[in-house]
Structure 1
Amino acid sequence: MKVGLLDTLGARHGRYWAAFLKELGVEVALPTLPAAEALALGQESLPDAPVQVQLVLGRVLELGRVDAVLLPQTPAVASDAWGEALAELLPRRLSGLPTLVALPDGGDAMVPAAQDLGQRLTANPARVRLALERVKPLANGKREEMPPLSRASRVTVAVIGPRALLGDPDLSAGLRAALDDLGLHGVYSPELPPSQVAARGERIERAGAPAGEKELFGALKLLEGKSAVRGVVLAAPARDAAHRAALDRLAGKTHKPVLVLDVDAGQTGWPELEAFRDRVTVGAAARPAAPGEET
């Protein structure tokens, strides 16, 4: 049995799944191609797909002959077919792919999912129980803490978008560099404490809002009340109409300067960022905190 394990889509618990598979005695295949080459593979087959989907596909194709490929589940927004059923949609769009298995990337559902996966891979309940016990310390991930909200001589902006984009170092590198070059200190939503984001996300006014929209809303509400945060950048994956629409809706829920961007792989410049920088930096040092703002 040979199983591929992807580190795309902003995966946070890759160490847990890699250790679990090792304890089961399953051969693990990991992607090794540079991100640009993997993206080229995905773009060739699905040129109109969102950038994060192209990267996932490229990584799957790179792995070649494997029995299955594990990838992290992502919280979907409204009308988000790729987010809701990526593991099912990709094999429909491209024949010959191995079985894709989407797994919880943290939370209470992760351990039961691991138990079910282990049983499917080994049909050995005793071995699965032992493997779960041995990897138990990895299930909780790292300790939650807020990222730094300020940086010397820089103006702070909240940068909010799906983990599949901003939590992926390859896909978000261009935006991070562009903000840094403009003298802005970005605080990125995937780096926020998940429990605090989730608590604020439950306050969303929209009844029945999907999990992905709650996560984006929770990140916005956690950061916009901080007096250090002078503006908000909302980042959507390129060619992802569902996330772009969700972020456009979110833009109307903040009183601070806001800019909505599409972010593609390899992109390094956004002309509108310079004007946004000017809006949030003019008078920033002297501006007092507004009533009700947090430091």
Structure 2
Amino acid sequence: MKVGLLDTLGARYGRYWAAFLKELGVEVAVPTLPAAGALALGRDSLPDEPVQVQLALGRVLELGRVDLVLLPQTPAVASDAWGEALTDLLPRRISGLPQLLALPDGGPEMVAAATELGQRLTRNPGRVRLALERVKPLAAEKRAEMPRLNMGSRVTVAVIGPRALLADPDLSGGLREALDALGLHGVYLPDLPAAQVAERGERLENAARAPAGEKELFGALKLLEGKSAVRGVLLASPARDGAHRAALNRLAAMTHKPALVIDVDAGQTEWPELAAFRDRVTLGAAARTAPDTADEAGEAS
């Protein structure tokens, strides 16, 4: 059996799954096309769908003849059909795709999913147990610290959006360069400690019934907006993704700091509205020479 393994959609544990498949002796195919080529394939088939879906589809198409394609599960927001059921929707929209399987991207359920996958691929419980033991260190939750909140004379802004967008340099690279050019220091959701984001996400109203993606976005906002170094909040939505745009609009209404919601497309390098946002968040920042001791202690917590 030949299995495709995608590294799109903000995957964090690609090394774990690649190592696990290798230990099982499974033939693995990985995408090799430049991102622009994969996006072109996806856009040709689904021109009106969210950019992260287009990229994932392009990566599947470029793999050609494989028996199964593995991709990371993504936390959905409200009314997010693609986030909730991408592996079901893609084959309905595009005929001839191989079977797709979404796998947990971290968390305690990842090992259980690996066990089930290994049994499916090998029918050999002993080999599966040995493979799981050998790759166990790669399943450990990565210990993360808060990223730097101060960067020289730059003004700091929180950049919040789905991991599928912000953790993928092929999709978010243009935004990062644009912020740098404007003299802004962005602190991005994927760089935040996942445990701290999750803890604050549980404070969302009706958290028990809220979609996982909504809680992650809210948790990132609450983790960052209380930091004195963070002067504003930039909320980045994947282009053509109405569900995430609506979720981020709701989030913008929850913060007391200057906020801006933008759409981000692959290859995009300019957002005219960013200059005005920069001016808003830098207003009064020049008079702020350095955080006091209390602020520094708070930002380190």
Give the structure-2-normalised TM-score: 0.95
Partner amino acid, structure 1, of 2:259: V
Which residue of the partner structure matches residue 225 of structure 1? 226
- Kindly state the Cα deviation for residue 289 of structure 1 after the two structures are TM-superposed: 7.2
- Cα gap change, 1:33/1:141 in structure 2, threshold over 3 Å: closer, same or farther? farther
Q: Deviations over 1:210-243 (max 9, x none)?
A: 1100000000000000111000000000000000
User: Aligned partners of 2:109, 2:202: CA distance in 1, in Å?
Assistant: 19
Q: Secondary structure at the match of 1:260?
A: strand
Q: Deviations over 1:99-118 (max 9, x none)?
A: 00000000011000000000
Q: Deviations over 1:240-272 (max 9, x none)?
A: 000000000000111000000000111000000
Please identify which structure carries the higher helix content. 2
Q: Deviations over 1:86-125 (max 9, x none)?
A: 0111001001000000000000110000000000011100
4+ runs deviating over 2 angstroms: 285-290, 292-295
User: Aligned partners of 2:291, 2:144: CA distance in 1, in Å?
Assistant: 26
Which residue of the partner structure matches residue 15 of structure 2? 15
Which residue of the partner structure matches residue 277 of structure 2? 276
User: Aligned partners of 1:289, 1:202: CA distance in 2, in Å?
Assistant: 29
Q: Secondary structure at the match of 2:287?
A: coil
Q: Deviations over 1:137-168 (max 9, x none)?
A: 00014321111111011000000000000011
Q: Secondary structure at the match of 1:285?
A: helix
Which residue of the partner structure matches residue 238 of structure 2? 237
Check whether the contact 1:13–1:141 (CA below 8 A) recurs between aligned residues.
no
User: Aligned partners of 1:185, 1:272: CA distance in 2, in Å?
Assistant: 17
User: Aligned partners of 1:72, 1:275: CA distance in 2, in Å?
Assistant: 36
Higher alpha-carbon deviation: 212-221 or 278-287: 278-287
What is the percentage of aligned positions where both structures have the same residue? 81
Check whether the contact 1:6–1:70 (CA below 8 A) recurs between aligned residues.
yes
Which residue of the partner structure matches residue 71 of structure 1? 71
User: Aligned partners of 2:177, 2:57: CA distance in 1, in Å?
Assistant: 26
Check whether the contact 1:160–1:220 (CA below 8 A) recurs between aligned residues.
yes
Check whether the contact 2:107–2:141 (CA below 8 A) recurs between aligned residues.
no
Check whether the contact 1:10–1:167 (CA below 8 A) recurs between aligned residues.
yes
Where do 5+ consecutive residues of structure 2 fail to align? none
